[in-house]
Amino acid sequence: MNKPLPNTLRQGPDGRGRFGQFGGRYVAETLMPVIQEVEQAYNAARNDPAFMAEWRRLLKDYVGRPSPLWLCERLTEHLGGAKVYFKREELNHTGAHKINAVLGQIMLAKRMGKPRIIAETGAGQHGVATATACALFGLKCIVYMGATDVERQQPNVFRMKLLGAEVIPVTSGAGTLKDSMNEAMRDWVANVSDTYYCIGTVAGPAPFPQMVRDFQCVIGEETKQQILLAEGRLPDALVCAVGGGSSAMGLFHPFLDDPEVAIYGVEAAGRGIDSGEHAAAIAGGQPGVLHGNRTYLLQDAHGQIQEAHSISAGLDYPGIGPEHSWLHEIGRATYVSVTDTEALEAFQLCSRLEGIIPALESAHGLAYVMKLAPTLDKDKIIVLNLSGRGDKDIFTVAKHLGETL
Amino acid sequence: MSRIAKRFAELKAEGRGALMPFIEAYDPDPATSMALLRGLPGAGADLIELGVPFTDPMADGPTVQMAGQRALKAGGTLAGAMAMVRDFRREDDDTPIVLMGYLNPILAYGIDRFCLDASSSGVDGLIVVDLPPEEADELAIPAKAQLLDMIRLVAPTTDENRLPKVLAGTSGFIYYVAIAGITGTRSATKDTLADAIPRVRRFTDLPIAIGFGVRTPQQAAEAVQVADGAVVASALIDTLARSLDEQGRAKPDTVRKVLDQVRDLAEAVRVARVAA
């Protein structure tokens, strides 16, 4: 083990799975033993050079990593300020960053001898990534997806089926991501002996926030090398959209100890924070406990969890990963928010200026870059995590623009 | 002596086990729920579990989920559940009541204020489903100071290495979760329970109640033949749900139907050990 360094922000979580007061392991007793089993297996796996080498091989030859760091000349010129780079996670196999952590987790499940994989999904990106990895490894895959999301994300539902997964529509609650996570937890409780729960974001009981972050850190590690090669220095700002926050943690974490790099997490403000119809857990929520961890949550005065709203199904979640809550409280990262309308504008601008159709999630990050870049000098550098491609979103966007496809 | 300890001591002297019905506070409305709560001791409930509604009950099956949704729609809150206990205590100072729910409503209420108010309302114990021993101190310490029993869940997956940790700090009784699963789904067999309960007993002198999958009078009787109590929840809530009209409102016979079922369960529990 490395000796603890006194001045690092990269050591979390502590032995109890906490980042400051956030995180932890708030689950029913039935699940505690299997969660501890996952933690032990993960600690063994990440210290096993053969495991990590196999994961790196999959990232290179199956996912197509490293993903490029693209200098957006036309966008930079249009915004008239800082230089804007995109970390092109949308070029990964399955079209988003999700696959990075899914491959790691499915390898872990295989190592643990769990032949049955369950996952929750909102927009379907994590479900598609999990179904993909299960096809590759020959494991049974069950994806819980809110009935509302099944309706609005039909292409991804069909993709998952093509990949051999069973998609179970969840009708409890409002039938969105929060409810599908509840249902996946219920499945896991009933099938602990043969099942692995492949969580899609940096949330849930410890060790999931740490494990998913560790696998996603490949994004930030590559970015660091690439920007040093391109510019000879670190960027001035990192920007990434945050739902649960796995793409953001992956980009941010390798830079936490570089104080000259400003860090911005962009929450979904939906129809506006004041409207109450949003998904901004930090801007509009309070700390509480849900889905196994303590973190900022959208909730009412009685501690009942509120439904999130965002045009982006991937950001439509009332919580946020616990490490983000901690980075917010210690002030290392700044959390801002962007409305549906601003994200739609960014979606279109990106498509026209860079020839890249971004996921609506990533468009939230871009909308903040559009605000930030013009305020900075031209010698400043911003890196946006373009975490996913927007093919899945064209129907939603068309509807909002009044087009029929 | 706490109400819970006193009740189990009395039952032990009588040589029988406890029937513990569960109802969700405010399901389907405050008045019906209160009438049920008041009627339970007369129908044979030895202890009562009162569910606190929560939007995201991760350990519960569809039956209890729906009960929670009806309760929330009717305005159910943690404060409302405690107010029900306060009203109940005006007439009944003997029947122990355990609040069962999830952590977040307690955090939102404020842990210290909650423990104070729960205790002064006449609540005897707490079961917080998503609070394993590793995370329990922040609630367990102030709860203990207010003489509230912290009742922990022991599951079939809790192995013998882990049992002492789960049992340390548990008071009142042990809630044995009969199946690895959620409420209102499968039931454990009599043989499985006959195997599992003595395993837990080796580590504790506290009474053990069995819940999850205890639905019929026969299953309740089997539970108290190997353990000290039987918790029945989903089977009662199913009866309540079936008695509602199309708009989900209570009908005149809703309370009677649920209490009749409690009577049948109580009858089976009372004769179980004699019959065995």
User: What is the helix (H) or strand (E) element at residue A402, kind and residue range?
Assistant: none
- Output the CA angle B237-B130-A128, nearest 5 degrees: 95
Quickly tell me which residue has 């660091």 as its tokens.
A224
Distance from CA of B45 to the nearest CA of A (A): 26
What percent of chain A clears pLDDT 90, i.e. is strictly above it?
92
pLDDT tens digits for range A229-250: 999 999 999 999 999 999 999 9
Whether A5 and chain B come into contact, CB under 8 Å, resolves to no
* B60/B68 Cα distance (integer angstroms): 10
pLDDT tens readout for residues A176-228: 889 999 999 999 999 999 999 999 999 999 999 999 999 999 999 999 999 99
Q: Do residue A32 and residue B55 have CB atoms under 8 angstroms apart?
A: no
d(CA A388, CA A61): 19
Query: For residue A136, what is the enclosing H or E element?
Result: helix A125-137
The pLDDT of residue A176: 82
pLDDT at residue A153, as a whole number? 84
Query: What pLDDT does residue B5 have?
Result: 98
Q: What is the pLDDT of residue A5?
A: 55
* Joined tokens for residue B257: 């139907």
Identify whether the C-beta of residue B132 lies closer than 8 Å to the C-beta of residue B102.
no
Confidence (pLDDT) at A367: 98
- Asked if pLDDT for residue A3 goes beyond 70, the answer is no
* pLDDT tens per residue, range A54-79: 999 999 999 999 999 999 999 999 99
User: In a 3-state reduction of DSSP, which class is residue A201?
Assistant: coil
Distance CA A77, CA A381 (A): 13
Query: Is residue A4 scored above 90 in pLDDT?
Result: no
Closest Cα of chain A to B267: distance in Å? 31
User: Which residues, in sequence order, are CB contacts of A211 under 8 Å at separation 6+?
Assistant: A38, A42, A101, A104, A105, A108
Query: Which pLDDT value is given to residue A144?
Result: 97
B 37-96 → A contacts, CB under 8 A? 53-62, 65, 72, 77-79
Facing A189 at nearest CB: one of B105, B109, B182: B182
- Could you tell me if B150 lies within 8 Å of chain A, comparing CB atoms? no
Please give the ipTM for the structure prediction: 0.95
B103 contacts A289? CB cut-off 8 A: yes
User: What CA–CA distances, in Å, run from A149 to A155, A320, B162, B189?
Assistant: 11, 19, 39, 38
Give the residue numbers of A annotated as catalytic, written as ranges. Answer: 72, 97
Q: What is the DSSP string of B140-161?
A: HHHHHHTT-EEPPEE-TT--TT
What does the alpha-carbon distance between residue B240 and residue B139 come to, in Å, rounded to a whole number?
32
* Positions of chain B with pLDDT lower than 70, given as ranges: 274-276
Give the model's pLDDT for residue B171: 96
pLDDT score of A142 more than 70: yes
Please give the interface size between A and B, counted as residue pairs whose CB atoms are below 8 Å apart.
Answer: 123
Q: Is the Cβ–Cβ distance between A40 and B161 less than 8 Å?
A: no
pLDDT at A175: 82
How far apart (Å, rounded) are the C-alpha atoms in residues B60 and B24? 12
CA torsion angle B165 A112 A25 B161 (round to 10)? 0
For all residues of chain A together, what is the average pLDDT? 96
Q: How far apart are CA A150 and CA A355, in angstroms?
A: 29
Q: Using 50, 70 and 90 to split pLDDT, how confident is the model at A1?
A: very low
